Structure 1
């Protein structure tokens, strides 16, 4: 009886909110509304949303729980909102799960737009581009070389490559962020990242963003997430404590040390307030949560496509041999030679286009009334940029569903891929991610031939039901050292 009463109350609240929204916006020219309420449950959600454009156009509204959201499915619509009118669309919805992850201090990725947020972003970007500028590439090179040595020791046995890439990416982030590459520490961080992503993606947590009132009901999934967040914060707090105790003015070896020294010197426009240790804490969280699975998943998609296309893999190896010479395991592959490896760059771009790892980005929120493609967009509207949809737009891309790296080999012919987002909320880790993709794939292809298991090509279809990341179906490959048995 109690459950039935609560259900009726939810229906009443939803109906009241719907009618109020319709009345409040009655004089606006809003994007068309897609009928139905259960869109979020559709398999292959980004492609489903792209399919709705055939009837509704590149911008439309969906009902998601108790509110409407606006979905952008074209490069033109996304760039108008996030680049040309970025101030209007720079906010984030403050959903229950976003607030939980942020705890006491605003998170950089999930935090709402403010002048203090701009200062937080400026500090983190400075740490990435200046604080570790000289150590970033050598560390990525060293850890990638060690990774290839471990893979060579497998002697061609089946390898669960995504797990290996995840550990490699986590090792790189731990080294750059905390200056700590101890195996036990990396394992602790890696386990925390895996637990956090699994708990965050669980339906019992995600449903709170659609029906927030459910957060007041017993929820084991939510309790589990809170325990994992507590463990996450314990790991970061230990590192912050160690760095403060060993701080030497004007010296740092990693991003944490740089940010602790610089946090009082970075000012935003019009005096936004003071950056505190908690902001450094959340920047570190963003880096090791956002910089592990995203990079590992993109590398895994690249391997899967190359296993399906051995002719492209062979061309890549020929390019590497021609430009760099056959690769002894100790040889260096400087990132500055990337302009001499156009096919490798094109292959990375094509993987990023077809399989953007966060295909629906993170939702934006309008902080003031605006418009997109002639439609009115009220204040506090949630905006979902369908990056995968934009990357498959038939009006922009020739043969959009096909893996065809050569499309990027003619300078100026292919538009920019939106995988990392654009505008004020563009992914801060893009420079590091691109460096890792280049170095790891170059080293991997220089050292190994990527082969499927007998009769078991990896699936090129993502997991059907949507999570924040575009999840792969598990697969294994053989890494055959070049020159052996070919």
Structure 2
């Protein structure tokens, strides 16, 4: 009876909240409101949201449960909010699913804006920059070489390339974060499986519906119970690495990013401090790197392979560019990432894949930290703001042949707008430098070593799975990797 009474009371509370919100905003000039309540349940949501701009313009409101959500669909509106007025829009809504994932310490990607959050971000960014200087490219090269040795052994057999890319990107971030010992202890499969479980359960509709209707968390929910179990497993794996690093730490020496971050948080802060960074912040930085740096890059690599299977003429031109710059495919020559300008078509192809299929197409939702405005519209404090990155990239008023895969658009500098697949402003993706390096190295060496062919002529679908959670997932597919040259390139050799 109590439960029934609460369920009957819910519509009354919702109506009261709507009336209260309207009364508070009665004097404001708000963006237009799209009629209806089920917009966010639409398939192919970024494209649907872009379509609403024809009637409502590039900025409008939707209803998300009991709250208004402002959607930004153009480069101008996104950059005004996230770059020019970044302080106003740097917050993060504190949703139930975010709190479940963050657990005891503020998460970097999901944490709300504060001075302590800025210090946490600076710590993680410094660790990544250290990895870039010291070990990032050699680690990517080494693990890519090991992957291609496995793939060469599978020549003649269709390969589920998405799974291979997923394990590769997870291995790279584990090596950079935790060091070589993680391979010695054979923990890479455990970390990879854990990442897959986290993303699968966190992305389930029964978890995200609680963000819209928080009352549902009090009802039986097997996914919620499973998510808590997976979080415990995740934290156990990371805490084991933390303990080992603390026990074997040598002052002034950094074997990996965790070593660096542990020594930084142990140092006393001088002058005014936003608060003390603790080991828990190192823990959550490692979690963010692991969760955010695996499937995003692996999915982008998979989209790139799928587009090249559909466009063999682009693949052929890429291989000709590689052969021209590096010699025949079996020569073993290589170009460093810092000299990537030598491969303009490869860079253009990567930019085009990121434009058409930004892996987090709606970014993560922002929250206004104070009253602000965009293009003359008032945006109240606490408003959830969604940047429609994929919609922005498909705006045919900005992009010529917007829906076509056409890398040549980027071969003339300054002709095409900048792609914002990693976001922009204070919340720009921290892992962008690593992701770009991985995309360049893996695709270049893949095309240098193999010709990509569809098995039995079965081309993969270029349509994303219709209902997105955070990532823009693709339909599973296989590819046949035909080795180029008799011996193939020695992927570990430089000239």
TM-score grouping bracket, smaller chain normalisation: over 0.9
* Residue 255 in structure 1 maps to residue 253 in structure 2: no
Q: Deviations over 1:312-334 (max 9, x none)?
A: 00000000000111233854441
Distance in 2 of aligned mates of 1:171 and 1:60: 41
1:302-313 to structure 2, matched below 5 A, reads: 302-313=304-315
Aligned twin of 2:105: 105
Structure 1 pair 302/182, CA: closer, same or farther in 2 (3 Å)?
A: farther
What is the CA–CA distance in structure 2 between the aligned matches of 1:63 and 1:267, rounded to whole Å? Answer: 44
Aligned to 1:78: 78
Match of 1:126 in 2: 126
Q: Is the 8 A contact 2:330 2:485 kept in 1?
A: no
Q: What CA deviation, in whole Å up to 9, does each residue of 1:115-139 have, x standing for no partner?
A: 0000000000000012452110001
Shift in alpha-carbon separation, 1:269–1:7, aligned structure 2, 3 A: farther
CA drift of 1:472 comes to: 0.3
Aligned to 1:218: 220
User: Secondary structure, in 3 states, of the residue corresponding to 1:158?
Assistant: coil
Q: Equivalent residue for 1:26?
A: 26
Give the SS at the match of 1:191: helix
**Which residue is equivalent to 1:287?**
289
> CA separation in 2, counterparts of 1:327 and 1:263?
47
Question: What is the TM-score of this pair, normalised by structure 1?
Answer: 0.97
Name 2:195's counterpart in structure 1: 193
Does the Cα contact within 8 Å between 1:132 and 1:255 map onto a contact in 2?
no
- 8 Å Cα contact 1:122/1:266 also seen in 2: no
Secondary structure of 1:376's aligned partner = strand
Which structure 2 residues correspond to residues 150-189 of structure 1 after superposition, within 5 A?
150-179=150-179, 180-182=182-184, 184-189=186-191
Q: Is the 8 A contact 1:115 1:268 kept in 2?
A: no
Q: CA RMSD in A?
A: 1.5
Find the counterpart in structure 2 of residue 140 from structure 1.
140
Deviations 1:435-455 (A, max 9, x none): 000000000000000000113
Q: Kindly state the Cα deviation for residue 4 of structure 1 after the two structures are TM-superposed.
A: 4.7
Inter-partner Cα distance in structure 1 for 2:270 and 2:319: 47
Contact 2:327 2:333 in 1 (8 A): no
Match of 1:299 in 2: 301
Match of 1:236 in 2: 238
C-alpha change, 1:132 and 1:478, in structure 2 (3 Å) is same
Partner of 1:428: 430
Q: Quote how far apart the aligned CAs of 1:248 are.
A: 0.2
User: What are the residue-to-residue correspondences of 1:8-23 with 2, within 5 Å?
Assistant: 8-23=8-23
- Could you tell me which residue of structure 2 aligns to residue 272 of structure 1? 274
Quick one: structure 1 residues 270 and 72, their matched pair in 2 at CA, closer, same or farther if it must change by over 3 Å? Answer: farther
- Aligned position for 2:350: 348
Q: In the alignment, which residue of structure 2 is the partner of 1:478?
A: 480
Instruction: Report the Cα distance in structure 1 between the residues aligned to 2:340 and 2:321, rounded to whole angstroms.
Output: 11
Contact 1:301 1:472 in 2 (8 A): yes
1:207 aligns with 2:209: yes
Q: Would you say how many aligned residue pairs link Structure 1 and Structure 2?
A: 484
Mapped contact 1:132–1:253 kept (Cα < 8 A): no
Structure 2 CA distance, aligned partners of 1:12 and 1:267? 51
SS of corresponding position for 1:60: strand
Task: Report deviation, 1:188.
Answer: 0.3
Aligned mates of 2:42, 2:272 — CA distance in 1:
45
Counterparts of 1:139 and 1:41, CA distance in 2: 41
- Return the alpha-carbon distance in structure 2 between the equivalents of residues 301 and 100 of structure 1: 30
Distance 1:132 1:337 in 2: 15
Rounded to whole Å, the distance in 2 between the matches of 1:184 and 1:152 is 23
Structure 1 residues 373 and 268, CA gap change in structure 2 (3 angstroms)? farther
Normalising by structure 2, we get a TM-score of 0.95
Write the distance in 2 (CA, Å) between the matches of 1:378 and 1:402.
Answer: 38
The structural deviation recorded for 1:181 is 2.8
Is the CA contact (8 Å cut-off) linking 2:45 and 2:467 kept in structure 1? yes
Q: Compute the displacement of 1:175 (Å).
A: 0.5
Q: Does the 8 Å CA contact 1:333/1:443 hold for their aligned counterparts?
A: no
- 1:415 Cα deviation from its structure 2 partner: 1.1
On the 8 A contact 2:262/2:282 being kept in 1, the answer is: yes
Q: Which runs of 5+ in 1 are unaligned?
A: none
Partner secondary structure for residue 263 of structure 1: helix
The Cα offsets for residues 454-486 of structure 1, whole Å up to 9 and x where unpaired, read as 1310000000112110000010010100147xx
SS of residue in 2 equivalent to 1:418: coil
Distance apart, 1:270 and its partner CA: 4.5
Alignment of 1:43-58 (within 5 A): 43-58=43-58
- Asked if the contact 2:330/2:484 (under 8 Å) is kept, the reply is no
**1:184 CA drift (Å):** 2.8
SS at match of 2:378: strand
| In 2, Cα distance between equivalents of 1:343 and 1:262 | 41
